[in-house]
Structure 1
Amino acid sequence: MTNAPLTVLVVGATGSIGRLVVAESIARGHTTRALVRDAGTARHRLPAEAQLAVGDVTRPETLPQALAGVDAVVLTLGSHGGAHSSPENVDYAGVRNVLAALSGQRPRIVLMTAIGVTARGSAYDHLLDWKRRSERLVRASGLPYTIVRPGWFDMNAPDERRPVFLQGDTRRSGSPSDGVIAREDIAQVLVQALTAPEAVTRTFELVAEHGPAPRDLGPLFAALEQDAPGALDAVRDEDNMPLSQEPQRVRDDLDAVRALAGA
């Protein structure tokens, strides 16, 4: 795992995971830029060492300046309901808008989605389907990426701190029985993925089991299978979301991202 410091942009920086990612990134020596909608409000919620970049993922024109010169982007987007903050506008289009605003830059991308993201016909389809589509955009981008699908936040016991990486997204009950993980541990995995060469082109579910957290996640990343080149879905994922049945606007977005990758 390389220790070279990076310039990192955290998108979703004031959220419950994003704030911890900012702090973890700073602690690891990275120059850390937080994308925020309101600098005055955010300053009280983030470490003093964080650089603030004012922007909004639902307003594409605000993103190029925030992305200028970055080596890596961590996306921890989460919608909160309503027309402005719907899963389509934030969890999906927010990722699309960030990718489109890179203007030829090729940063490392780390995207957080959710365990069970490939489930169909569940009560969470309105969220999970858009998160899965955001994953497809990242894979289509041609950028070096890692996609992390954490379990249920902070429902772990105090001694459940040993991270376990899974693939195939087979735990899809939509309940904590799928797996639990501390928010702090999610942030550590997201940030360590930025500098672990073994993490590139890997997609995995993240849960915790009994035991302590290891200092080096490199062996866990290395044990994962890589996503197939050119594939829209992760290795071992069920093929249950045919592209031919996707909304035309989603297929158009994939074509646009692929075109940017080939530019």
Structure 2
Amino acid sequence: MTDQPSSVLVVGATGSIGRRVVAAALLHGLDVRALVRDPARAERVLPGADLVWGDLEETTGLATAVRGVDAIVFTHGGNGSPDQARRIDYGGVANVLAALDGRTPRVALMTSIGVSRRGAYSGSTGQLLDWKRRSERLVRASGAPYTIVRPGWFDNVGPRDERLVLEQTDTGNGGIGRDQLAAVLVRSLLTDSAVDKTFELFAEPGAAPADWEELFAPLTPDGGGELNAAGDPDSLPPLEEEPDAVREDITRLTKR
């Protein structure tokens, strides 16, 4: 059993998912710290959160942001370009984990369906998914207890789609509501059966979950020391085929 967190840092807090995560975490009684680049704007959209300035590309500001928190939720993302995918989607995770300086708080990371379907998407989309997959590998290498959520298409749900479907192998397709996604990210921090698991998340017609331990329990945990998720295909690149910067980041994390 892992210790339940009492405080959480939300990365990407002013985004459409991050705002909902902040609200859900506050409802669960967590002390919420929000990493923001524009505190004046954030005050209007994140009532109840403790705002801390930081930039995912400026590592000096991140040490203050992570100090003392016992959980982190990553909901951030760039504009979809390959460069921002490298610098923000991946680089933001790398820099925050580095700022922890060996501490291992509970982590919830939002990525996307399709991250392990290498070659299924071309151009900038394929490159974006590659960098998100690499950010997952960083979290698994960090030694922190984690949950990695690969959501389906945002808002592609009907009014009766309240049943949450958690799948593995990254072959499914479907939608998920933003509030549903935020709830799962926060609940994963508070639920022992969600630890060290990676899954795709969809919604379909049916009832909302009544027992969160029961929802996460059937999932297969990722193998200890493995960089890939349980059920990911064997065709994903080994570490030695990753870019130099990725190999260096993973080596730095695993040597702590």
With the shorter chain as reference, the TM-score category is over 0.9
Work out the CA distance in 1 between the residues paired with 2:115 and 2:213: 24
Q: Aligned pair in 2 of structure 1 residues 151, 81: CA closer, same or farther (>3 Å)? A: closer
Work out the CA distance in 1 between the residues paired with 2:4 and 2:103: 19
Q: Aligned pair in 2 of structure 1 residues 258, 4: CA closer, same or farther (>3 Å)? A: closer
Partner of 1:102: 100
Q: Aligned pair in 2 of structure 1 residues 44, 226: CA closer, same or farther (>3 Å)? A: same
Q: Aligned pair in 2 of structure 1 residues 5, 228: CA closer, same or farther (>3 Å)? A: closer
Map 1:109-128 → 2, pairs under 5 A: 109-121=107-119, 122-123=121-122, 124-128=125-129
SS at match of 1:109: strand
Work out the CA distance in 2 between the residues paired with 1:189 and 1:50: 19
After superposition, the C-alpha distances for 1:38-86 in whole angstroms (9 at most, x for unaligned) are: 1001111112x11101101111111011111001000011111568x70
Counting matched residue pairs gives: 252
After superposition, the C-alpha distances for 1:211-235 in whole angstroms (9 at most, x for unaligned) are: 1212332111111000011000001
Q: Does 1:225 align with 2:226?
A: no
Normalization by structure 2: what TM-score?
0.94
Work out the CA distance in 2 between the residues paired with 1:99 and 1:254: 11
| One-letter amino acid of the counterpart of residue 207, structure 1 | F
SS at match of 2:69: coil
Long gaps (5+) in structure 2: none
SS at match of 1:17: helix
The equivalent position to 2:177 in structure 1, one of 182, 193, 207, is 182
Identity value in percent: 52
Contact 2:81 2:128 in 1 (8 A): no
Q: Does 1:245 align with 2:241?
A: yes
Normalization by structure 1: what TM-score?
0.92
Work out the CA distance in 1 between the residues paired with 2:183 and 2:73: 12
Q: Does 1:258 align with 2:254?
A: yes
Contact 1:154 1:183 in 2 (8 A): yes
Q: Which runs of 4+ in 1 moved over 3 A?
A: 1-5
Partner of 2:51: 52
Partner of 1:133: 134
Long gaps (5+) in structure 1: 172-177
SS at match of 1:119: coil
| One-letter amino acid of the counterpart of residue 221, structure 1 | F
| One-letter amino acid of the counterpart of residue 221, structure 2 | Q
Map 1:197-236 → 2, pairs under 5 A: 197-236=192-231
Q: Aligned pair in 2 of structure 1 residues 198, 155: CA closer, same or farther (>3 Å)? A: same
Contact 1:5 1:29 in 2 (8 A): no
SS at match of 1:25: helix
After superposition, the C-alpha distances for 1:174-200 in whole angstroms (9 at most, x for unaligned) are: xxxx11010000000000000101111
Coordinate RMSD, CA, aligned: 1.7
Q: Aligned pair in 2 of structure 1 residues 54, 215: CA closer, same or farther (>3 Å)? A: farther
